[in-house]
Amino acid sequence: MMRVGQVIKVVPDKLEEYKKLHAAVWPGVLSMIRECNIRNFSIFFRDGYLFSYYEYIGSSYEADMAKMARDPETKRWWTFTEPCQSPIETTGEGEWWAGMEEVFHND
């Protein structure tokens, strides 16, 4: 199992819209998340930033993320969520959410 932490900014006047979207995530999007081997997925907010955490239980992270990116309903969902987000300055090439380094874990 791989633990994944990511960060992105939220557009200040879009926070309530973002929260509203996530209070009623589309069933097809939730199914695709599960189908792509993501478990224990959470998004947190603090001081203009969104932090996500999830656990990946599959065997090919890149293939599963590509599968998710091809899914029509997920792509449509992103047309609503992406305008609420703004990548941080240090986001890498091809990233939207910036990956975070895990510096501590305790089971």
Render 10-69 in DSSP notation, one character per residue. E-GGGHHHHHHHHHT--HHHHHHHHHTTEEEEEEEEETTEEEEEEEE-SS-HHHHHHHHH
Report the SS3 class of residue 89: coil
Q: For 44, phi and psi rounded to 5 degrees?
A: -120, 155
- The string of pLDDT tens digits covering residues 56-72 is 999 999 999 999 999 99
pTM of the model: 0.90
* Mean pLDDT in consecutive groups of 10 residues from the start of the chain, 107 residues: 96 97 98 98 97 98 97 98 94 87 90
* Predicted local distance difference test score (pLDDT) of residue 12: 92
CATH for 94:
3.30.70.1090
Count structural domains, the chain: 1
Parent domain of 68: 2-99
User: Quick check: is 7 in a domain?
Assistant: yes
Q: Are 4 and 36 in contact (CB under 8 A)?
A: no
